[in-house]
Amino acid sequence: MKKVVFITGATSGFGRAAARKFASEGWALVITGRREDRLQALQAELVETVPVFYKTLDVRNQADVQQLVEGLPDPFNEVACLINNAGLALSPKPAQETELADWHTMIDTNITGLVNMTHALLPSLIKVGEGASIINVGSIAGQWPYPGSHVYGASKAFVQQFSYNLRCDLLGTGVRVTDLAPGIAETEFTLVRTGGDQQASDALYANTQALSAEDIANAMYYIATLPPHICINHMEVMPTRQAWSPFAIHRE
């Protein structure tokens, strides 16, 4: 029987690349996101290779999450890997210039959405047991502060600690939990963060080599297919061309 991976945010970036990677390795897919046309296109692309179930889903809506998970048809209802990937950063501006609504959207998506999904799928993952995995997409922003990261980075710090705490409670079930923390990666992430500013997005990725969505999809696949006795708690992945900066000091 094919293993089933459930991917949130499969309409773009890491999630879409993960769908392609897992499909190429023979996994059945549950793909979700808010943009139906993209889900349809991805299903059409991959369904010749593996079974694909798609459904539009806003992870912030707990009732919809629950309904989708409870209604998953056979063979998609035995989820062996949950990739909690849906997420976003809004406003690259300083905290004091950011709309409160943007903070709430990040909290609702990156934290509430992720716990909605996890809670709904825990029974299935525990049923699969040995070798099952939850891959939570955190970020280097969860560990390292930088200007303009405010609630985004804080939400990813939640993802890291929640992942570690889940490990404690799932001990003995066989279910693994990983906080996968990428550095700069070229996806639609910056387009979303800047409110659709393509020039700003292009400028961020210009003349360097960011991670690609496929790099992170390969890391996801590696984590999910390790021998069942191995769990990667935290994986931080940066492009070689990214590193830290000195502390900032304000002088009069």
Question: Of the two residues 15 and 92, which places its CB atom closer to ligand NAP in the complex?
Answer: 15
152 is catalytic: yes
Residue length, the chain?
252
Contact 183, 140 (CB under 8 A): yes
Could you say whether residue 11 binds ligand NAP (CB under 6 A)? Answer: yes
Please list every residue from 104 through 163 that binds ligand NAP, using CB under 6 A: 109, 113, 137, 139
E strand or H helix at 66:
helix 62-70
Could you say whether residue 33 binds ligand NAP (CB under 6 A)? Answer: yes
Minimum CB–partner distance for residue 246 and ligand NAP (Å): 22
Among the listed residues 19, 29, 42, 59, the single contact to ligand NAP using CB under 6 A: 59
Minimum CB–partner distance for residue 115 and ligand NAP (Å): 13
Please list every residue from 167 through 196 that binds ligand NAP, using CB under 6 A: 182, 184-185, 187-189, 192
Stretch that binds ligand NAP, among 9-17, 65-73, 123-131, 227-235 (CB under 6 A): 9-17
Contact 126, 216 (CB under 8 A): no
For residues 52 and 5, what is the distance between their CA atoms, to the nearest angstrom? 10
Could you say whether residue 8 binds ligand NAP (CB under 6 A)? Answer: yes
E strand or H helix at 134:
strand 133-137
State the number of binding residues for ligand NAP (CB under 6 A). Answer: 29
Minimum CB–partner distance for residue 218 and ligand NAP (Å): 14
Stretch that binds ligand NAP, among 6-14, 63-71, 92-100, 195-203 (CB under 6 A): 6-14
For residues 179 and 231, what is the distance between their CA atoms, to the nearest angstrom? 11
Residues 6+ apart with CB under 8 A from 107: 151, 155
The dihedrals phi and psi of 123, each to the nearest 5 degrees, come to: -60, -40
- Cβ neighbours, 10 Å, residue 78: 17
Minimum CB–partner distance for residue 174 and ligand NAP (Å): 26
Q: Pick the catalytic residue from 146, 152, 221, 222.
A: 152
Question: Of the two residues 14 and 27, which places its CB atom closer to ligand NAP in the complex?
Answer: 14
Sheet holding 52-56, edge to edge: 52-56, 28-33, 4-7, 79-84, 133-137, 176-182, 234-237
Contact 18, 7 (CB under 8 A): yes
Catalytic machinery residues? 152
Site for ligand NAP, rule CB under 6 A? 8-9, 11-15, 33-35, 57-60, 85-88, 109, 113, 137, 139, 182, 184-185, 187-189, 192
